[in-house]
């Protein structure tokens, strides 16, 4: 059964990869042909995630419900530690985000490429090891040592990838359907210390300001052939990094002046909208949680 799970996981990863590659090539060609004068977003960047949250069709769902469901699903993925549960969470969260939220599949997969890359790099070290002797079920001689692995190590790596990917999928469901202001509102209702909530809000917004400045500086450097060769690229990168510090200080002062001009007195106040929780959604969420627990109990 373990080998079947490994084969299914590898098959799903390969299918998603080729779907993403195939669709991204066609979308890139279509955009280049029909929208030559428009500047598109880059996949996976923060401002794109904020845009998706506002455009999601499930944005009208109660924010407390979405945050609690996401966090509870995340906890179950970690505590139950079951590959079947992980696969169930991945499918369910993708369904909610892509089908219910009407987020294009290609965009959803492209957003997940960054965390998937880090997952693969971090878990790859679990599957392989080095030795001076040819041990393990599979080994490769490199001239000075052996790289070896085994079925147990590969199974452990695949199961860990599934668990992490399921946890990330649960969080992505929340971030791709809930604007940051609503998440902060939920944290306030959960009685998170005010200083933490306000710092989170300021840092979150300030990241986008610096990202916008960085993109403009990079585009300006490209227009002046600042990346024509490796040496020039290194010099340009250093110049942008040093200028970012100065610009960030100026932006911080301007940001604070703008807050004071809007009667800032130490409390960040946002327009908060109360959204009712539908009983049907609560029932479906409860059934989903019970299903995960039953799936764990039958497959452990």
**What b/e string do you get for 19-36 counting C-beta neighbours within 10 Å, with b at 16 or more?**
ebeebbeeeeeeeeeeee
Q: 148 by DSSP, 3-state: which?
A: strand
17: in domain: yes
172: in domain: yes
Residue 162: pLDDT above 60? Answer: yes
Determine contact, residues 5/83, Cβ cutoff 8 Å.
Answer: yes
199 with 162, same domain: the answer is: no
96: in domain: yes
117 with 253, same domain: the answer is: no
Percent of the chain whose predicted confidence (pLDDT) is above 70: 84
186: in domain: no
58 with 173, same domain: the answer is: yes
245: in domain: yes
259: in domain: yes
225 with 295, same domain: the answer is: no
248: in domain: yes
24 with 171, same domain: the answer is: yes
Q: Model confidence over 93-121: pLDDT tens digits?
A: 999 999 888 888 888 888 888 788 888 87
Contacts of 140 (CB under 8 A, 6+ apart): 146, 147, 148
Residue 195: pLDDT above 90? Answer: no
27/94: higher pLDDT:
94
**Whole-model pTM above 0.75?**
no
Q: Model confidence over 177-187: pLDDT tens digits?
A: 888 888 888 88
Rounded-to-integer distance, Cα 247 and Cα 15, Å: 44
């Amino acid at each position: 059964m373990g080998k079947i799970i490994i084969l299914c996981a590898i098959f799903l990863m390969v299918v998603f990869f080729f779907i993403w590659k195939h669709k991204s090539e066609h979308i890139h060609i279509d955009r280049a042909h029909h929208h030559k004068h428009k500047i598109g977003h880059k996949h996976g960047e923060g401002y794109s995630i904020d845009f998706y949250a506002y455009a999601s069709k499930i944005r009208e769902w109660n924010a407390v419900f979405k945050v609690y469901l996401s966090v509870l699903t995340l906890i179950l993925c970690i505590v139950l530690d079951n590959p079947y549960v992980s696969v169930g969470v991945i499918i369910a969260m993708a369904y909610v985000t892509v089908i219910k939220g009407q987020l294009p599949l290609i965009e959803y997969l492209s957003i997940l490429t960054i965390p998937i890359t880090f997952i693969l790099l971090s878990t790859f070290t679990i599957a392989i090891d080095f030795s001076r002797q040819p041990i393990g079920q599979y080994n490769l001689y490199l001239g000075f040592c052996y790289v070896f692995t085994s079925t147990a190590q590969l199974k452990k790596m695949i199961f860990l990838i599934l668990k992490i990917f399921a946890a990330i999928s649960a969080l992505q469901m929340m971030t791709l359907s809930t604007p940051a202001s609503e998440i902060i509102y939920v944290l306030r209702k959960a009685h998170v210390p005010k200083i933490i909530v306000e710092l989170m809000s300021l840092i979150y917004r300030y990241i986008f300001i610096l990202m916008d400045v960085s993109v403009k500086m990079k585009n300006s450097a490209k227009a002046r052939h600042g990346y024509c060769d490796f040496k020039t690229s290194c010099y340009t990168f250093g110049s942008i990094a040093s200028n970012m510090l100065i610009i960030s200080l100026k932006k911080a002062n301007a940001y604070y002046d703008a807050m004071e001009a809007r009667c800032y007195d130490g409390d960040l106040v946002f327009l908060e909208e109360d959204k009712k929780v539908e009983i049907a959604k609560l029932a479906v969420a409860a059934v989903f949680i019970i299903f995960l627990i039953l799936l764990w109990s039958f497959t452990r």
